[in-house]
Structure 1
Amino acid sequence: MFRILVALLLACSVPFADAATATTGVAFVHGTGSQTNAFNDYWQPTMVNTVRQGLVNQNNYVVVNCDLNQYMWDSRAAGCVAGQLSSFISSHGITDLVVITHSNGGNVIRWILSNPTYDSRYPGIISKIRWVNALAPSSAGTPLANAVIAGNVFENALGWLLGYQSDAVRQQQTSWMAVYNQNNLYGTAGRPALPKGFWDVIGTDVDSAVWDPDSYCGGYTLNVGLEITQAWLSSCSDGFIECSSAAAAGSVWFYDTARTAGREPLSHNQSRRACFGLETILRNDL
């Protein structure tokens, strides 16, 4: 209900003529990893194509491909994201941008929102953003990153998930994110608010029973892996991000089972895929 009220207030604050001529676009910003084809490999076509159906002009979308194995402020991370968003805004005449991001992508977007003077492109991007839909953001890091960097048994077991000891994984250690949240990023408790809404979608559990068809959405093998890693996290987690981390920045939009079809939980992998109606929720949000 609070999110609906915010949307109404935003609509009322824009002159009718501007609202009628607004050009809305949507941008998909992936999480940790170096992507060259995030449309197919990270989000998959059903997710992207369903979401963009909510646009008046369904061609007004961009799927970012950057090297998010780097620290969030790196030119290959936030710099790359800023470049692709700026080009998209300019080439499509976007005046109203909804950003959909996942996992560590939320930290990169928060860096942009929190540091408008760091890059000359940031203010223009910020001015166009309506709000950010952050799917399972790692806003307070994850204990799994701690374990990978420590070099213990997790390093090999979680290489498929985290990409080993990349700078992005170092960044997502819980102690490191605490420092960034206190000094470099906005939106967490005790810090200034972000200039635009940052709305969290939080995954609370992982299903991987071989007899359960729901366990196969997004890839059964990945869900099995997340079921295993969940044993080292709090009881409320998506197999990679604890609920407290996903809710640490901005505002909670919803916990998975409150909105998903069949009240199904979203594993960390499923929260970037067309699983249990998530794609329709995001489409309708546009």
Structure 2
Amino acid sequence: MRSNAGRTGRGLALGVMMLACGSVHAADVVGVAFVHGTGKQTDARTEYWQPGIIDTVRAGLPNSSNYTVINCDFEQYMWKPETAGCLAGQLTGFIDSRGITKLVVITHSNGGNVLRWILSNPTYDSRYPRLIQTISKVTALAPSSAGTPLADAALNGNAFESSVGWLLGYKSDAVRQQQVSHMATYNAQNLYGTVGRPALPRPFRVVVGSDVESAVWDNNSYCGGYAQNVGLEFTQNWLDSCSDGFLECSSQKAAGTLWFTDKARTKGAEPLSHNQSRRDCFGLGTLLRNDLTL
């Protein structure tokens, strides 16, 4: 006959093993953060992204309430308290309030530079190391990683200014930052992820917009705003043949790794203008949603 002590010992051992397995295989709490581009945002959900793409993407979360939309002053240089400091504060608050253990960050345009600042400079702010540990990946939609000639044009006040002002704002520090020569310096000295520099500590996967369509008879030209696409097609004339009307493809691909170029995965192989790459155009929201938990 087995003793009670023996049975008790084996029961305790089994309990310890179960607890150990539970701690190893405990499910992550997944969240997603939407980080806007240049501009001082107070309602980025409505005015920058629009609810369509946010609601499509968050539906892919185990808990669709585990999302946040960042509202910061991205008219400043990326390292400023109003910019990276604000972003770090809002992300940390979101992680704490929802118990997030695995954070996917979706950025657009200059938001990618602000994220790269945090990922590249862990000792700059005491909040950065924890954020870097919690972020599982960054999906960068049309990031301005190598800047744009249109930033120079907007600052110089030439014929571009009236066309790109709605994209960039006028003569802000964020516009100065996105000049091609300035971004080359930051990439060489302050930021990771470009050729010849250390790799970023978390995956930084890029979606590239490669063209603009604004034909009045083409329904696809109206997604994201017809007037904006007309303006982007105008500015595209001064960029490389591969561009989204604001950024050349080479700038978008300058940091991190390519996830896909628009036509390779969008519905109907449609291109994404710089405005459309932050909207639920041509199945983009579904692509982002399906990628959340991979």
TM range (shorter): over 0.9
Q: 1:260 aligns with which of 240, 261, 266?
A: 266
* Matched letter for residue 29 of structure 2: T
* Range that drifts further, 145-154 or 237-246: 145-154
Aligned residues: 272
Question: After superposition, where does 1:1-286 map in structure 2 within 5 Å?
Answer: 18=24, 20-286=26-292
Query: What is the RMSD of the two structures over their aligned residues, measured on CA atoms?
Result: 1.1
Q: Any idea what the Cα deviations from partners look like across 1:181-207, whole Å, max 9, x if unmatched?
A: 000000000000000000000000000
2:236 partner letter: Q
Which ranges of structure 1 fall in alignment gaps of 5 or more residues?
A: 1-14
3-state secondary structure, aligned to 2:130: helix
Instruction: Read off the aligned partner of 2:134 and give its amino acid letter.
Output: K
Cα distance in 1 between the residues matched to 2:261 and 2:22: 33
Q: Distance in 1 between matches of 2:22 and 2:131?
A: 22
Task: Please tell me whether Structure 1 or Structure 2 has the larger radius of gyration of its CA atoms.
Answer: 2
Query: Which range moves more in the overlay, 143-152 or 92-101?
Result: 143-152
Instruction: Provide the secondary structure at the position in 1 that maps to 2:237.
Output: helix
Aligned sequence identity (%): 69
Distance in 1 separating the partners of 2:223 and 2:112: 23
**Using the alignment, how far apart are the partners of 2:231 and 2:139 within structure 1?**
26
How many angstroms does 1:214 deviate by? 0.2
1:49 partner amino acid: D
* Deviation for aligned residue 1:19: 5.2
Distance 1:164 1:241 in 2: 17
| Paired residue secondary structure (1:199) | strand
Given that 1:141 and 1:241 are in contact with CA atoms closer than 8 Å, whether structure 2 keeps it comes out as: yes
Secondary structure of 2:166's aligned partner = helix
Q: What is the identity, as a one-letter code, of the residue corresponding to 1:198?
A: F
TM-score, with structure 1 as normaliser: 0.93
Q: Distance in 2 between matches of 1:278 and 1:151?
A: 34
TM-score, normalised with respect to structure 2:
0.91
Over residues 215-257 of structure 1, what are the superposed CA-to-partner deviations in whole Å (9 max), with x where a residue is unaligned? 0000000000000000010000000010000000000000000
